């Protein structure tokens, strides 16, 4: 029997910076720690999805974007034990050393021909040694370590990963009914760790509203001016708070976020609408914790079918569906109304593509949050599409599974096309 509490604890973890370039830094750090000498070159072999999601995003504490600085930092920061928080405590001296690696052109990046969507192979060379680290399937799942061509045993803490693959067959067989029952009946004390994540994500949202990050999507929505068409109502406050967190994160804020299913933006998208609405509705901590458990678990559930990395926007679609479910829970909705909300949200967002991690993610997340609120409003009035409508089936689980079919059959070449468009801009790696 699936322990959904274990799923939450595996899939909801903190990270500093966008998880794809941070995972690259982690892989490089693992290899650099093995050579223990001055580095003469670094080779990266990356899946297309990793390149797509690491090219344009801000790297915390650097004022720089993309793969080169993330990889170079991994080479000088020997803190692989911190995994996705490897850049926390970054010093100016470390940043200077990383930029020296870039200036000396010691880094090479190649596209890896692999069916694996999430694949990072880092080879670090010194005068006397070569070390290799390979991460696959999930952002901290180390599948191979070697020094001078000799494979090394993987320590348990490196072989493990958040959301272990071994859970998949059982976890994703859990129905929405089972998730809802768990959320209603689990002891509140078991969910209190989610409130720590709420504090973390609210903090970066507040930072995004204060600062001039990225496109300032959230900040400008709340800024009263003659050119602002948005009002000051509950919906816009929720959308702005959510978008602002992504503004800050994608522009390189050093503040950590609580991720969901391997993505900080997914964590933002599925939790901040719930956090902000709970605040505006004066909900107690237990209600918030249960709503967050629901939004996170449903995001994980939907994300399984979309894929860990995908041509579809996981933050928009999976995160939007999760947020919608949490919103309905806060409004006192029933399981049937939550199912209506999922149908409404998928009907609205199912075509949203992922064109990498960058500042415009805040735009997509704001769109998804708006759709989640709209879908929740319809659901609370017992309105949802029927099986006559597009990709929607009568049973909500079938509708969710259609996202997998859409990715595998309909969008098989989309990732390649998106990456080629992005690479056509010139030197981006």
Residues 3-43 have pLDDT tens digits of 899 999 999 999 888 889 999 999 999 999 999 889 999 99
13-17, 122-126, 285-289: range with lowest mean pLDDT: 13-17
- Pairwise CA distance, residues 33 & 167, whole Å: 30
Average pLDDT over residues 66-80: 92
Helical H segments across 264-284, by residue range: 264-280
pLDDT of residue 47: 93
pLDDT of residue 172: 63
Q: Which CATH number fits domain 15-159: 3.30.1330, 2.60.40, 2.60.120, 3.40.50?
A: 3.30.1330
From residue 384, alpha-carbon distances to 77, 153, 335, 345 in Å are 51, 52, 13, 9
User: pLDDT tens digit string along 188-199?
Assistant: 999 999 999 999
pLDDT value at 165 more than 50: no
Query: What percent of the chain stands above pLDDT 90?
Result: 77
pLDDT value at 161 more than 80: no
Strands 107-111 and 119-126: unpaired
pLDDT value at 164 more than 90: no
pLDDT value at 299 more than 90: yes
**Range(s) of the chain covered by CATH 1.10.4100.10:** 174-423
Average pLDDT over residues 127-150: 94
From residue 302, alpha-carbon distances to 10, 12, 116, 236, 324 in Å are 16, 15, 19, 25, 13
Say if residues 69 and 17 touch (Cβ distance below 8 Å): no
Helical H segments across 211-334, by residue range: 217-222, 234-250, 264-280, 285-306, 314-330
pLDDT of residue 169: 55
Rounded to 5°, angle at Cα 250 from 249 and 252: 70
Task: Provide the CATH topology of domain 174-423.
Answer: 2-methylcitrate dehydratase PrpD (1.10.4100)
Average pLDDT over residues 46-63: 90
- Pairwise CA distance, residues 55 & 418, whole Å: 12
User: pLDDT tens digit string along 341-360?
Assistant: 999 999 999 999 999 889 99
Rounded to the nearest integer, the mean pLDDT of the chain is 91
Other residues' Cβ atoms within 10 Å of the Cβ of residue 130: 18
**Range(s) of the chain covered by CATH 3.30.1330:** 15-159
pLDDT value at 80 more than 80: yes
H/E element, 118 = none
Q: pLDDT band at residue 96, thresholds of 50, 70 and 90? A: very high
pLDDT of residue 162: 43
Average pLDDT over residues 94-123: 94
User: pLDDT tens digit string along 207-233?
Assistant: 999 999 999 999 999 987 767 788 889
Average pLDDT over residues 240-251: 96
Q: Is 207 left (phi over 0), alpha (psi -120 to 50) or beta?
A: alpha
pLDDT of residue 163: 38
139 closest CA partner among 119, 125, 153:
119
Q: pLDDT band at residue 424, thresholds of 50, 70 and 90? A: confident
Q: With a threshold of 0.85, does the pTM exceed it?
A: yes
From residue 326, alpha-carbon distances to 104, 376, 412 in Å are 49, 9, 31
Q: pLDDT band at residue 166, thresholds of 50, 70 and 90? A: very low
352 closest CA partner among 266, 228, 236, 253:
266
């Amino acid at each position: 029997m699936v322990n959904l509490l274990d799923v939450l604890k595996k899939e909801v973890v903190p990270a500093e910076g966008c998880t794809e370039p941070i995972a690259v830094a982690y892989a490089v750090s693992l290899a650099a720690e093995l050579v223990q000498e001055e580095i003469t070159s670094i080779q990266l072999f990356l899946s297309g999805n990793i390149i797509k999601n690491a090219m344009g995003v801000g790297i915390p504490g650097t004022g720089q974007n993309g793969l080169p600085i993330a990889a170079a930092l991994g080479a000088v920061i020997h803190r692989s034990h911190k995994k996705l928080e490897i850049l926390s405590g970054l010093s100016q001296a470390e940043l200077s050393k990383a930029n020296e690696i870039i200036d000396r052109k010691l880094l090479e990046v190649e596209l890896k021909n692999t069916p694996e969507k999430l694949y990072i192979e880092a080879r670090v060379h010194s005068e006397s040694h070569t070390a290799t680290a390979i991460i696959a399937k999930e952002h901290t799942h180390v599948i191979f370590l070697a020094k001078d061509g000799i494979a090394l045993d993987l320590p348990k803490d490196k072989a493990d990963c958040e959301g272990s693959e071994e859970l998949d067959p059982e976890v994703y067989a859990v129905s929405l009914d089972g998730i809802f029952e768990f959320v209603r009946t689990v002891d509140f004390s078991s969910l209190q760790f989610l409130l720590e994540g709420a504090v973390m994500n609210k903090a970066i949202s507040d930072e995004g509203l204060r600062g001039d990050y990225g496109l300032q999507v959230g900040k400008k929505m709340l800024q009263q001016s003659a050119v602002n068409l948005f009002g000051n109502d509950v919906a816009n406050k929720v959308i702005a708070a959510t978008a602002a967190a992504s503004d800050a994160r994608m522009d390189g804020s050093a503040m950590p976020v609580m991720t969901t299913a391997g993505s900080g933006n997914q964590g933002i998208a599925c939790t901040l609408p719930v956090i902000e609405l709970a605040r505006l509705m004066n909900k107690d901590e237990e209600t918030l914790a249960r709503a967050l458990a629901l939004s996170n678990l449903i995001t994980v559930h939907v994300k399984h079918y979309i894929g860990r990395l995908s041509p579809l926007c996981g933050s928009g679609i999976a995160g939007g569906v999760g947020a919608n479910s949490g919103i309905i829970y806060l409004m006192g909705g029933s399981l049937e109304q939550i199912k209506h909300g999922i149908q409404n949200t998928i009907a609205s967002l199912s075509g949203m593509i992922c064109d990498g991690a960058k500042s415009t993610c805040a735009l997509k997340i704001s769109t998804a949050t708006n759709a989640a609120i709209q879908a929740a409003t319809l659901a609370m009035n017992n309105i949802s599409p029927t099986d006559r409508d597009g990709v929607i089936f009568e049973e909500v689980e079938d509708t969710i599974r259609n996202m997998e079919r859409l990715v595998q059959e309909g969008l098989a070449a989309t990732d390649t096309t998106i990456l080629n468009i992005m690479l056509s801009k010139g030197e981006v790696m």
